[in-house]
Amino acid sequence: MVAVSEPTQLRSSQWYEAGGLRSFSHRARTRQLGYLPEEHLGKPVVAILNTWSDINPCHQHLRERAQAVKRGVWQAGGFPLEFPVSTLSETFQKPTPMLYRNLLSLETEELLRSYPVDGAVLLGGCDKSTPALLMGAASADLPAIFVPAGPMLPGHWRGETLGSGTDMWKYWDEHRAGRLGDCELTELESGLARSAGHCMTMGTASTLTAAAEVLGMTMPGASSIPAVDSGHERMAAAAGLRIVPLIREGIKPSDILTREAFEDAVTTVLGLGGSTNAVIHLIAMAGRAGVTLTLDDFDRIAPTVPVLANVRPAGGPYLMEDFHFAGGLPGFLSRITDLLHLDRPTVAHASLREQLEGALVHNEAVIRPRTNPVADEGGVAVLRGNLCPDGAVIKHIAAEQHLLKHTGPAVVFDDYRSLQRTIDDPALGITADHVLVLRGAGPKGGPGMPEYGMLPIPKYLLEQGVRDMVRISDARMSGTSYGMCVLHVAPESHVGGPLALVRSGDLITLDVAARSLSLDVDDAELERRRAEWSPPPERYERGYGALYAEHITQADTGCDFGFLARRGHNPEPYAG
Q: Tens of pLDDT along the chain (576 residues)? A: 688 878 889 999 999 998 899 999 999 999 999 999 999 999 999 999 999 999 999 999 999 999 999 999 999 999 999 999 999 999 999 999 999 999 999 999 999 999 999 999 999 999 999 999 999 999 999 999 999 999 999 999 999 999 988 899 889 889 998 999 999 999 999 999 999 999 999 999 999 999 999 999 999 999 999 999 999 999 999 999 999 999 999 999 999 999 999 999 999 999 999 999 999 999 999 999 999 999 999 999 999 999 999 999 987 799 999 999 999 999 999 999 999 999 999 999 999 999 999 999 999 999 999 999 999 999 899 999 999 999 999 999 989 999 999 999 999 999 999 999 999 999 999 999 999 999 999 999 999 999 999 999 999 999 999 999 999 999 999 988 889 999 999 999 999 999 999 999 999 999 999 999 999 999 999 999 999 999 999 889 999 999 999 999 999 999 999 999 998 889 999 998
Contacts of 564 (CB under 8 A, 6+ apart): 102, 105, 106, 109, 135, 139, 288
The enclosing domain of 426 has a CATH number of 3.50.30.80
Instruction: Count the helices and strands in the chain (H runs, E runs).
Output: 22, 14
Do 257 and 175 fall within a single domain? no
Do 22 and 68 fall within a single domain? no
Strand partners, 179: none
For residues 276 and 380, the answer to whether their CB atoms sit within 8 Å is yes
Sign of CA dihedral 269, 271, 274, 279: positive
Using DSSP, state whether 533 is helix, strand or coil.
coil
Largest CA distance in the chain: 78
Do 148 and 260 fall within a single domain? yes
Residue 558 lies in a domain: no
Contacts of 262 (CB under 8 A, 6+ apart): 215, 282, 285, 286, 289, 291, 293
Q: 441-476 burial string, b = 16+ CB within 10 Å, else e? A: bbbbbbbbbbbbbbbbbbbebbeeebebbbbbbbbb
Q: What domain range includes position 317?
A: 43-153+195-356
Do 120 and 269 fall within a single domain? yes
Position 456: which residue type?
A: P
Of 223, 227, 224, 228, which Cα lies nearest the Cα of 346?
Answer: 223
Q: How many domains does the chain have?
A: 4
Do 310 and 328 fall within a single domain? yes
CA distance 223 to 220: 8
pTM of the predicted structure, to 2 decimals: 0.96
CA distance 544 to 550: 10
Of 114, 106, 116, 111, which Cα lies nearest the Cα of 46?
Answer: 116
Position 126: which residue type?
A: C
Residue 540 lies in a domain: no
For residues 107 and 35, the answer to whether their CB atoms sit within 8 Å is no
Q: How many CB atoms lie within 10 A of CB 106?
A: 19
Do 148 and 160 fall within a single domain? no
Do 457 and 401 fall within a single domain? yes
Do 18 and 104 fall within a single domain? no
Do 246 and 344 fall within a single domain? yes
Do 168 and 315 fall within a single domain? no
Residue 72 lies in a domain: yes
Domain end marker among 192, 218, 240: 192
Do 183 and 116 fall within a single domain? no
Residue 374 lies in a domain: no
pLDDT at 529: 97
pLDDT at 406: 98
For residues 108 and 122, the answer to whether their CB atoms sit within 8 Å is yes
Residue 545 lies in a domain: no
Beta strands in 57-154 (DSSP E): 79-84, 119-124, 144-148
CA distances from 434 to 164, 504, 507 (A): 29, 10, 9
Q: Give the helix/strand (H/E) hosting 259.
A: helix 259-271
Do 74 and 179 fall within a single domain? no
Residue 28 lies in a domain: yes
pLDDT at 5: 75
Residue 206 lies in a domain: yes
Using DSSP, state whether 384 is helix, strand or coil.
strand
Q: How many CB atoms lie within 10 A of CB 3?
A: 10
Residue 96 lies in a domain: yes
